[in-house]
Amino acid sequence: MEKVRIIVPCFNEESCVEELYQEVDKVFSTMPEYKYSILYIDDGSRDCTLQKLQELKSNTEAGKVNFISFSRNFGKEAAIYAGFSNIGDADYVALMDADLQHPPELLKEMLKKLKNEAIDCCGARRIDRKGEAPVRSFFSNLFYKFINKVTCMKLVPGGSDFRIMTRQMAETVVTLSETERFTKGILSWVGFKTEWIEYENRERFAGTTKWSFAGLAKYAISGFMAFATTPLRAVIYLGIIIVVLAFVYACYVFYAALKNPESRTGYSSIILLILFIGGIIITLLGVIGEYLARIYMEVKHRPIYISKITEIDDQKEKVEEV
């Protein structure tokens, strides 16, 4: 019997945690070949989420409900990392929200797809944003287009955190132990073959969303900064452009002075000097920034490569990190 560990980050979800368990239990009652366990990560909730989890654990079959409760609110990314760090002996690892916006019934289809196709991960992708503010939807779509263009990531528009993956992939995610985390980016960066199942957006079962527009903007910026050095390189290009423009302007001033010596004025040389020196300074700042970016990427201690399968005579490993 294969085991599935379901990671559920939750913050102030006292009304949802029990309902989620019941819905997940219904799904797995139709799949006796799997043994599931839910790992709730209580991210420093201020309501009665922890008490609800304690009651739920005491009233259910041993091993089905587990939880970790943080000392304070560390954020969803920290909760996800804690879940991936505690997958036990699970063969598959799922990630979903507690508010039931991620349909639990999709777990059956996702597991089937993961088993029958040569893939490592099956994710759920929203095909609409029903019930979401138009402005929020606009900026969300803009973010996906922008980050896919300027980084090495390829994020699927509408792709949610709701997904199920092999143990191998889950263990690999944990090896990227950087503090400023962006799970969508990390899951894209590690590679592994991922397929998507589409679903219609759902309203929350209860409560209100914990994500404000400002919070989402901060999260987007954090994700961008974690995977992009483009702004620093743009500074280098800007400096070079300014130097070139200064040179072109110098040629023009020199030509004008030769053609009409009486038209020479003192401000031309000052402007040229400012442009030229300013361009050099910006270029140097860009170069320094590039080195800082490389240091920044190094201190993350990301593996240089990830080998899915290694076959070297007497050496066979599922995952190799260097």
Angle subtended by helix axes 213-227 and 134-150, to nearest 10: 0
pLDDT in tens, 53-95: 888 888 888 888 888 888 888 888 888 888 888 888 889 999 9
pLDDT at 282: 74
Looking at residue 184, which CATH number applies to its domain?
3.90.550.10
Total domain count, the chain: 2
User: In whole angstroms, what is the distance from residue 232 CA to residue 132 CA?
Assistant: 34
Report the predicted TM-score, pTM, of the whole model to 2 decimal places: 0.71
Domain around 210: 2-227
172/264 same-domain check: no
Let me know if residue 314 belongs to a domain.
Answer: no
132/182 same-domain check: yes
88/213 same-domain check: yes
Q: Of the candidates 201, 227, 253, which is a domain's last residue?
A: 227
User: In whole angstroms, what is the distance from residue 80 CA to residue 17 CA?
Assistant: 16
pLDDT in tens, 145-167: 777 776 767 777 777 889 999 99
The lowest-confidence range among 25-29, 149-153, 262-266 is 262-266
User: In whole angstroms, what is the distance from residue 110 CA to residue 113 CA?
Assistant: 5
Instruction: Please compute the mean of the pLDDT values over residues 179-192 and round it to a whole number.
Output: 81
Let me know if residue 258 belongs to a domain.
Answer: yes
Q: DSSP readout, 42-106?
A: E-S-SSSHHHHHHHHHHTS-TTTEEEEE-SS---HHHHHHHHHTT-TT-SEEEE--TTS-S-TTH
74/108 same-domain check: yes
172/293 same-domain check: no
Let me know if residue 271 belongs to a domain.
Answer: yes
104/208 same-domain check: yes
